[in-house]
């Protein structure tokens, strides 16, 4: 009888531990407390996506790429090059599994892509895209009053959109100082302070300086900086421009 009681008590203890264990493992708060690393979905496996993916993976972050073709040889190479347990899945599945989503697709399809990503509520959405097109080697600026970042925010109103990484070259993202020989500033803007702070941390971790331009009203200013950046690259090839801003107090 005593043995039976002891066994029952042991089983109760084990099942309670299992329930508590499950709770701890699946509660986002518990996950955040135990680790400073992030799970980052990167939409687009091109120059920007894979370069930032590799740089963040090297800092311990888990990268889930969202691709239109996740089962190709190219996708396998991307996983291998990125390391640290990176994966490639369909775009919507990538966004679902991450609290941070980097948009690194062509700007022309940006709003359609955002519409297919599912519920982005509470996620930090980094917009690295420049709404620029080219004709006969010339840069064509869009005639929009609103700006791409604001349009993305309107499309995903409960997400925290931060414009960043649009005003630097993708190669530079693999090591700003090593590639350019000096400090490189990434200007950022977005309506939520904590989201901007998170993106600023992600940028500094991989070697950038950050210029926090401010809230949603500054999204377009960062987009203008992106255009200045691209305009210089177009007219001064093979010379590139990188921003290195300093702030000072009056
Ligand atoms: N290149 C730079 O130096 C640089 C610097 C700063 C910002 N940017 C901006 O960052 C964005 C990406 O530039 P990138 O140079 O990385 O371009 P990219 O090399 O052409 O890569 C874009 C990726 O987006 C995905 N994609 C292509 N067409 C798509 C579509 N119709 N729908 C959904 N996804 C599509 C593709 O990935 P999958 O095949 O895996 O779907 C593709 O590899 C652009 O908006 C650009 O303005 C570029």
The model's pLDDT over 92-138, given as tens digits with 9 standing for 90+, comes to 999 999 999 999 999 999 999 999 999 999 999 999 999 998 888 88
pLDDT at 33: 42
The single residue listed with the structure tokens 């690393």 is: 37
In a domain, 204, yes or no: yes
DSSP character at residue 70: T
Mean pLDDT of the 38-42 span? 98
Task: From 78, 104, 227, give the residue whose CB has the most ligand 1 atoms within 8 Å, as the site to mutate.
Answer: 104
Instruction: Identify whether the C-beta of residue 55 lies closer than 8 Å to the C-beta of residue 32.
Output: no
- What's the rounded Cα separation, in Å, for the pair 113 and 103? 9
Q: Is the pTM of this model over 0.85?
A: yes
pLDDT at 225: 97
Domain of residue 128, residue span: 36-235
CA of 228 to the centre of ligand 1 (A): 19
The structural domain count of the chain equals: 1
In a domain, 29, yes or no: no
In a domain, 190, yes or no: yes
In a domain, 6, yes or no: no
Does ligand 1 have an atom closer than 6 angstroms to the CB of 166? yes
Report which protein residue has its CA nearest ligand 1's atom 35: 105
State which ligand 1 atom lies nearest to the alpha carbon of 131. 47
214 burial type by CB count under 10 A (0-12 exposed, 13-18 middle, 19+ buried): middle
Q: Residue 105: count other Cβ atoms within 10 Å of its Cβ.
A: 24
pLDDT at 147: 96
Here the CATH number for the domain that contains residue 174 is: 3.40.50.720
Chain centroid to CA 122: 14
Provide the pLDDT confidence category of residue 28 given band limits of 50, 70 and 90.
Answer: very low
In a domain, 138, yes or no: yes
Question: How many percent of the chain have pLDDT more than 70?
Answer: 86
Mean pLDDT of the 161-181 span? 98
pLDDT at 29: 28
Instruction: Identify whether the C-beta of residue 174 lies closer than 8 Å to the C-beta of residue 132.
Output: no
In a domain, 243, yes or no: no
In a domain, 79, yes or no: yes
Mean pLDDT lowest among 67-76, 77-86, 138-147:
138-147
In a domain, 242, yes or no: no
Task: From 41, 43, 44, give the residue whose CB has the most ligand 1 atoms within 8 Å, as the site to mutate.
Answer: 44
């Amino acid at each position: 009888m005593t043995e039976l009681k002891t066994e029952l008590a042991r089983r109760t203890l084990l099942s309670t531990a299992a329930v508590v264990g499950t709770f701890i493992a699946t509660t986002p708060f518990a996950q955040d407390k135990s680790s400073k690393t992030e799970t980052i979905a990167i939409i687009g496996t091109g120059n920007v996506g894979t370069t930032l993916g590799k740089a963040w993976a090297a800092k311990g972050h888990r990268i889930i790429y969202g691709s239109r073709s996740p089962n190709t040889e190219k996708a396998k190479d991307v996983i291998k090059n990125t390391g640290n347990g990176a994966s490639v899945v369909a775009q919507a599945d990538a966004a679902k599994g991450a609290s941070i989503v980097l948009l690194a697709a062509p700007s022309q399809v940006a709003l359609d892509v955002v519409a297919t990503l599912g519920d982005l509520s509470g996620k930090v959405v980094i917009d690295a895209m420049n709404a620029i097109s080219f004709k006969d080697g010339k840069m064509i600026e869009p005639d929009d009053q609103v700006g791409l970042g604001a349009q993305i925010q309107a499309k995903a109103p409960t997400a925290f959109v931060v414009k960043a990484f649009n005003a630097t070259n993708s190669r530079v993202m693999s090591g700003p100082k090593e590639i350019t020989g000096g400090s490189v500033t990434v200007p950022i803007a977005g309506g939520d302070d904590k989201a901007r702070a998170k993106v600023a941390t992600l940028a500094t971790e991989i070697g950038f300086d950050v210029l926090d331009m401010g809230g949603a009203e500054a999204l377009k200013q960062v987009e203008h900086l992106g255009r200045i950046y691209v305009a210089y690259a177009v007219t001064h090839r093979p010379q590139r421009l990188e921003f290195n801003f300093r702030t000072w107090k009056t």
